[in-house]
A and B are shown apart, each in its own frame.
Chain A
């Protein structure tokens, strides 16, 4: 506690850095995986290939990806872009499967009803498919958010400032409260992101709370 009081400015600025670096991959990952997952579900022949491909990406350990991306993209190992792109890849790897599952979970009858009501392809996607897939998409996005926040800390090994700095600095100087602060703050940022996503889900999809109630027999 003493350490935290003496260093709250450092912890505060690292927390802000951490949030900024986490936010970009979460948003980008969601936007990129939406069309990929939708396509994989829509064209069943590609489903296995697409999901298998993103599965392989997820298997690559983060430290290895931080090393392999820069020579492929021509960026510096020590650049923030390196970590942000790597984490976006993980976000896509987790999210694509959920997106495919989310669109698969829509009742075909609802889609046929929408078509019967005169919805064209794009109109049906935004007005019917996306809202119905919403709750499952949100569940996937929560997993992405939490694991991204936790993965950002590894970026300190390639020189990217985040709460992970408290791990390496605290370890080298043998200050246990500093490392502990890093772990707890990372955990809290993850909880905060999760809570924001849940709140956003409630506002955007007020109907999803009904869906979480147990279905009655014969309903």
Chain B
């Protein structure tokens, strides 16, 4: 526990808040890497994910890429790209690595968000006389937002965590004090920096979780459409009653929940 006290002493000593390499500066660097990489990843991944989700073609492709990306060691990817592009291009190389990490979850979120919309809903919009662009803009995108933001949350989580490693190639960010402190055995510094990283990561995740709730349209729960006019009890305690009331309904509902 003494180490935690020393870490807090390090964390709150005034010299950490001024000059080169101060905690606020490291935090801003970290947020800048994260925001930049997330933005570029979103610009690439979301249109592709939407396109695949809208047309329904290439879905297995998305699933495959998302799975394979998980097996890629992000730390190795950063070092490899820095060596390949040259140490002078280490900012670009690190950014490319972070973008590559952010693309799969964002693409999967955009794809899943579009793909889970029932055909009947889209057909209903078409029957109302909406043009294809209106369907995309007014029906499909709003209904896909909860899952898209879920993907964004996954991407940000990945990128924030991996951005701690770019300090190894000589960049800044909140990982700097840890990576520089380990060989020096400055554990007050490494633990203090780790605490800041945890606070930053949890804050970003909490904000995105709140945003997900905020964009969820009425009648959509966890990315699944629910009938808001007459909500049936789906609880386990009443399946017999609902089965007796409408045997068809229970069967269709259960089929829906098994992917």
| A binding-site residues for B, Cβ under 8 Å | 56, 58-65, 67-68, 71, 77, 105, 107-109, 143, 146-147, 149-151, 153-154, 156-158, 163-164, 166-168, 170-171, 174, 176, 179-180, 182-183, 186-187, 190-191, 194, 215
B257 & A105 in contact (Cβ 8 Å cutoff): yes
Instruction: Identify which of A59, A151, A183 contacts B202 (C-beta below 8 A).
Output: A59
Q: Is the beta-carbon distance between B67 and A146 smaller than 8 angstroms?
A: yes
Residue B254 lies at the interface, judged by CB distance under 8 Å to chain A: yes
CB-CB under 8 A from B249, the residues of chain A are none
How many angstroms from the CA of A171 to the CA of B97 in the assembled complex? 15
Shortest beta-carbon distance from B156 to chain A in Å: 10
Interface assignment of B228: CB less than 8 Å from any CB of chain A: no
Q: A68–B187 Cα gap in the complex (Å)? A: 10
Determine how close the nearest CB of chain A comes to the CB of B198; give it in whole angstroms.
Answer: 5
Question: Is the Cβ of B75 less than 8 Å from the Cβ of A56?
Answer: no
A190 and B73 CA atoms in complex are apart in Å by 10
Binary A-proximity of B55-99 (CB < 8 A = 1, otherwise 0): 000000000000100111111110110111000000000000000
Whether B165 and A153, one on each chain, are in contact in the complex, defined by CB atoms closer than 8 angstroms, is: no
Q: Judging by beta carbons under 8 Å apart, are A170 and B202 in contact?
A: no
Residue B10 is within 8 A (CB to CB) of chain A in the complex: no
Could you tell me if A108 and B239 are in contact, using CB atoms closer than 8 angstroms?
Answer: yes
Which of the listed residues A109, A157, A170, A174 has the most CB atoms from chain B within 10 Å of its own CB? A157
A167 with B73: CB separation less than 8 A: yes
Task: Indicate whether B164 reaches chain A with its CB closer than 8 angstroms.
Answer: yes
**Given A68-B191, A154-B165, do A77 and B182 touch, yes or no (CB 8 Å)?**
yes
Contact A186 B73 (CB under 8 A): yes
Q: Would you call B225 an interface residue if the criterion is a C-beta within 8 Å of the partner chain's C-beta atoms?
A: no
The answer to whether A167 and B201 have CB atoms under 8 Å apart is no
Question: A59-B202, A64-B198 are known contacts. Are A150 and B73 too (CB-CB below 8 A)?
Answer: yes
Which residues in chain B, 151-196, are within 8 Å of chain A measured between CB atoms? 157, 160-162, 164-165, 168-169, 175, 178-179, 182, 187, 190-191, 193-195
Contact at A164–B75, with CB atoms within 8 Å?
yes
Q: Known contacts A61-B201, A63-B165; is A68 also within 8 Å of B73 by CB?
A: no
Q: Are B70 and A147 interface neighbours, CB within 8 A?
A: yes
Question: How does the 8 Å CB contact mask read for B116-148 relative to A, with 1 for contact and 0 for none?
Answer: 000000000000000000000000000000000
Contact present for B157 and A67 (CB under 8 Å)? no
Query: For window 241-259 of chain B, which residues contact chain A by CB distance below 8 Å?
Result: 254-255, 257-258
Q: Which residues of B contact A170 (CB under 8 A)?
A: 79, 83
A174 to B162, CA, bound (A): 21
* Contact B79–A171 (Cβ < 8 Å): yes
Q: Is the CB of B80 within 8 A of A180?
A: yes
Interfacial chain A residues near B161, Cβ < 8 Å: 61-63
In Å, the complex CA distance between A164 and B165 comes to: 13
Residues of the A chain whose Cβ atoms lie less than 8 Å from the Cβ of B187:
67, 71, 77
**B230 at interface by CB-CB < 8 Å:** no
B80 touching A56, Cβ below 8 Å: no
Given known A-B contacts A77-B182, A147-B70, A167-B73, A68 and B194 have beta carbons under 8 A apart: yes
A143-B70 in contact (CB<8A): yes
Whether the Cβ atoms of B194 and A63 lie closer than 8 Å is yes
Among the interface residues A71, A163, A187, which one has the most CB atoms of the partner chain B within 10 A? A71
The residue in chain A whose Cβ has the minimal distance to the Cβ of B205 is: A59
Q: Which residue of B lies closest to A219 (CB)?
A: B255
Question: Given the interface contacts A176-B80, A176-B83, does A67 sit within 8 Å of B178 by beta carbon?
Answer: yes
Roughly how many angstroms separate A150 CA and B84 CA in the complex, as a whole number? 21
Given A67-B178, A71-B3, A167-B79: A149 and B190 interface contact (C-beta under 8 Å): no
CB pair A183–B80 under 8 Å, yes or no, is: yes
Most buried by A among B165, B169, B255, B257: B165
Does A63 lie within 8 Å of B74, measured CB to CB?
no
The reply to whether the CB of B4 lies closer than 8 angstroms to some CB of chain A is yes
Q: Which residue of B lies closest to A108 (CB)?
A: B236
